[in-house]
Structure 1
């Protein structure tokens, strides 16, 4: 029965799992067991999981009993979900952002995201590896590497293909069918990039749609959690579970009457017939032929399905030389706020402490250095510097009025189209606007090991819109997904672990 269940669960979507539980074909406990079996079998190759929730089976049993007595809570009742290791969970799992400095840190309370998932009936299966401090540690750090967890590998080509960062473990685990879906976080590209590189659907929501309470931060102007799944429908289900207003995160107050607890009504493939999509050619100029061919094929499909394509679209901000001041200044302030509230025998309570701890444990902690941490520590941590204030104002003006909003209004567009995380994700991140990536095909690019282009890596097609345009982006992404069905499962059985130095 277990082998049969494992074969069934590969690429199964949340709706199928829910239907199977509602009809008594399977239980949540069985789903948890089969995912744990797959983790034991394959994660020695991929290194995606930092720790398993020791209470996952008991939680699943309780939810199975609740289903019998009270019925289902909804889409996520009994569904095993993984969380990135910077998302607080008040249980027997740690929250460390991949850092050995926080390896023994237990959260005093659930993050808003974890609380929402529990309320929806999800089983929090475990914590996923990630690029340490969400990549904001060093300019040299490998995507997917953390001192606590080592290096996460891409299931489509372990040791060969770029895994994407910083929600690397959430992406690779979901792609490898080690959970139904996962939650990642993004400041700039950290959901869209790994989702694209692992043939997943990833949604980076509008800032304020999902609360940041209880998430180890980089920069409050850009940080958000979001879903990573194998289908648009699964991502839409997860997004609906995450959205709600949170008085502890004032940005979420802007989502009133602009958010939904159920995004599945927007799974409308026919919307493409009236969609208007812009092609920002400037952001394609560094694409090689293989990846450009994927973009052109996507445009052709959209046209075939009735979408109006405006090509090219010019953004006034295209030549803007961006700086990193917003993240640099906000990181120190936001991280200090988070660390200062930690209790117990935690050795760090400020960014200064983290840097000192890493220096004292350099053999374990500083494989790739900590230049970015030091760069941020040099700021005052007050967010009063003129350089910060100027950059924040300029980022918003150029990415919105002279960027995304300008293009959408000028041509009456629903969305702009980008390849994966190429150009569009940083633009959307600075604006605080949403983006969604969908499997777009496979190209022989992104190889990081010697030996040539031996594996074709996944590439995502990304749609970017204005604030709170998630319903429209989901419609477009769903239509594209249903027209193409590009996702294929990785062939893990033939993969061998490759050490990457």
Structure 2
């Protein structure tokens, strides 16, 4: 099966949509008389406990919603849900996920009738040695796997140029249901769109460098990218063993915490999980969820340069006012806000205007060297456990170089993989692959110099930023650093780079909408293994802001691609960003 295509194309939506109002072209039907729109895990569980809904009802209703857009689902979902309903009636529930449908990003292997292809064709039809640990844990907790969600091909690891964010060869372009001319900004976009458009209650994505926190911001959801190793990466196609981590995207921090309680823990298939021993909260992650009253006395930092000064998102029309209004609300709720001109060494490792490093960083410290090397290593390790059916010419494929060669040989061609499965490969860039192949996966002096510098410098910045020194010498330990999270209009986002280099966690909380009718949010930087504290900060902010908006599917009839003008009616240049604003065109 192909993954669910969360492409939200006009044809896929219009075919079965019956508008109840001009502002809601694709209304969600009631589920057995219950309005499940934007329902959280707790709400769905309550309806099932009251007998108003069953897990089978939920699967049927979410499948109908998926069919209202497009895609395919797990053919065993209904039978699994029915069995869980019978278990509920006879023995009670296993926990909060009992009977709850969920989806996974298509780089997370599930040992069932699905194909896991990472959105491409080169792995399509193959099987892995065993199911992803996170999927096995959620199934054991009673979750019902509904399907695979689309993603940017190869989790955005195939190409740096000549590609479209959210596009995969297998299913096409993922679009943003708030505005179909706009991107989803990150390879986990399909998982996030699935939750935001009510095709499922909760979904899993993964992040190497922004793939959870950026799409969560652009679709108004909550997420927490954890310290790599807190949650097992086994069974997930790797981009980097030092940066990757799976995580949930959800409608509340409570839902995020519920999934953390299930997924976190030691796994014999992932050595890095043993480093996390001793860092789990004693009463679980769900116990860390708090209300806005917890903001009183909470200490939060604003790392001014570059995050609140020159990056594009904060200087887009109207955005600075919106973000500063939220800061004032935090102060009014009792939070202590510390404005930090520069967190230690940040100007050496963070670009002044957004994603990535400064352009003048010496080549030997370039973090792309680290990511390139680790990509080649990761695919080589993955292919050791990956097998193709007998007779398939891809049997024996063992390296990223062989994968790239297969892609080159099959661009703009069609063919059959058997069992009625056809592929069509369009021309797509793969310069990320090519750069990775050039390293030969050699983790020598060149790699360790680049990786070590980036990890050390980024950690010094985040750790130092959490320790504010007052004029009298007093050191204040902060609960988190707040960073704008708004990649709308196709701009690169500044939120994820430094925590990715550091291997540190980030939470993202929605706060409002931009001029593109897209949501935007605030990232919260934490220190290593500070996930419990981040859940406290993020859930308190969630309760204070209580922001939610329904997708309006703007431009669903006419969307053909990105707008040519990044911000209609305005001209934004590096000079205008330096002056904290864009000029009217």
In the superposition, the TM-score normalised over structure 2's length comes to 0.79
TM-aligned CA distance change 1:319 to 1:56, over 3 Å: same
2:470 equivalent to 1:409: no
Deviation at 1:6, TM superposition (A): 7.2
CA gap of 1:351–1:111, structure 2 versus 1, over 3 A, is same
Report the counterpart of residue 359 of structure 1 in structure 2: 408
Cα distance between partner residues in 1 of 2:52 and 2:34: 14
> What is the RMSD computed on CA atoms of the aligned residues?
1.9
1:354-398: CA deviation from partner (whole Å, max 9, x where unpaired): 1111111112545331111011001121312x2210011111111
Task: Give runs of aligned pairs for residues 290-369 of structure 1, distance below 5 A.
Answer: 290-321=318-349, 322=357, 323=366, 324-345=368-389, 347=394, 348-363=397-412, 364-365=424-425, 367-369=427-429
1:370 match:
430
Aligned to 2:207: 186
In the other structure, the counterpart of 1:433 is 504
1:248 Cα deviation after fit: 1.8
Say which of 251, 255, 275 aligns to 2:298.
Answer: 275
| Number of the residue aligned with 1:400 | 459
2:75 counterpart of 1:15? no
Whether the 8 Å CA contact 2:178–2:554 is kept in 1: the answer is no
Q: Shift of the alpha carbon at 1:292?
A: 2.3
Change (3 A) 1:76 1:382: same
In structure 2, relative to structure 1, the CA distance for the partners of 1:120 and 1:497 (3 Å cut) is farther
2:159 and 2:431 in contact (8 A); partners too: yes
Q: Deviations over 1:382-438 (max 9, x none)?
A: 312x2210011111111112x100111234111100111632311111111111111
Shift in Å, 1:290 = 2.6
Following the alignment from structure 1 to structure 2, what is the Cα–Cα distance between the partners of residues 25 and 211? Answer: 36
Question: By how many angstroms is 1:113 displaced?
Answer: 0.9
How far did 1:498 drift?
2.7
How far apart are 1:133 and its partner, in Å?
0.9
CA contact (8 A) 2:507 2:523 kept: yes
Does 2:235 match 1:214? yes
For residues 261-309 of structure 1, the C-alpha deviation after alignment (integer angstroms, 9 at most, x for no partner) is 8322111122211211110111231232433223212211211111100
Q: Give the Cα–Cα distance (whole angstroms) in 1 for the partners of residues 245 and 253 of structure 2.
A: 19
- Aligned residue for 1:311, secondary structure, equals strand
> Once the two structures are superposed, what CA deviation does each residue of 1:8-61 show, in whole Å capped at 9, x if it has no partner?
110111101111111211100000000001111124xxxxx5x41111111111
**1:95-144: per-residue Cα shift (whole Å, max 9, x none)?**
11111112212333211111111111100110000011110111122111
Distance 1:29 1:493, change over 3 A: farther
Give the whole-Å Cα distance in 2 for the aligned partners of 1:71 and 1:63.
Answer: 10
Q: Give the Cα–Cα distance (whole angstroms) in 2 for the partners of residues 313 and 170 of structure 1.
A: 36
State the Cα distance separating 1:497 from its structure 2 match. 6.7
Q: Distance in 2 between matches of 1:343 and 1:26?
A: 41
Question: Structure 1 residue 214: deviation in Å?
Answer: 0.7
Aligned to 1:383: 443
Q: Confirm or deny that 1:27 pairs with 2:54.
A: yes
SS of 1:337 mapped into structure 2: helix
Choose from 444, 448, 464 the match for 2:525.
464
Q: Distance in 1 between matches of 2:279 and 2:87?
A: 32
Q: SS of the residue aligned with 1:378?
A: helix
Check conservation: 2:41, 2:97, Cα contact below 8 A: yes
**8 Å contact from structure 1 (residues 176, 492) kept in 2:** no
Aligned partner of 1:418 in structure 2 is 483
- Say yes or no: does 1:236 pair with 2:263: no
- CA change 1:143–1:6 in 2 (3 A) is farther
Unaligned runs of 5+ in 1: 44-48, 445-454
Equivalenced residue count is 482
Greater alpha carbon shift after TM alignment, 421-430 vs 175-184:
421-430
**1:315 to 1:494, Cα distance in 2 relative to 1, 3 A:** closer
Equivalent in 466, 470, 483 of residue 544 of structure 2: 483
The SS at the match of 1:3 is coil
CA distance in 2, matches of 1:62, 1:499: 43
Question: Is 1:473 aligned with 2:534?
Answer: yes
Taking a change above 3 Å as real, the CA distance of residues 493 and 37 of structure 1, as seen in their structure-2 partners, is farther
Query: Given that residues 6 and 34 in structure 1 are in contact (C-alpha distance below 8 angstroms), is that contact kept between their aligned partners in structure 2?
Result: no
Secondary structure of the equivalent of 2:450? helix
Q: Select the structure of larger CA radius of gyration.
A: 2
Bigger helix share: 1
Alignment of 1:131-170 (within 5 A): 131-140=152-161, 141-158=163-180, 160-170=181-191
Deviating more after overlay: 317-326 vs 386-395: 317-326
C-alpha contact (below 8 Å) 2:31/2:61 kept by paired residues: no
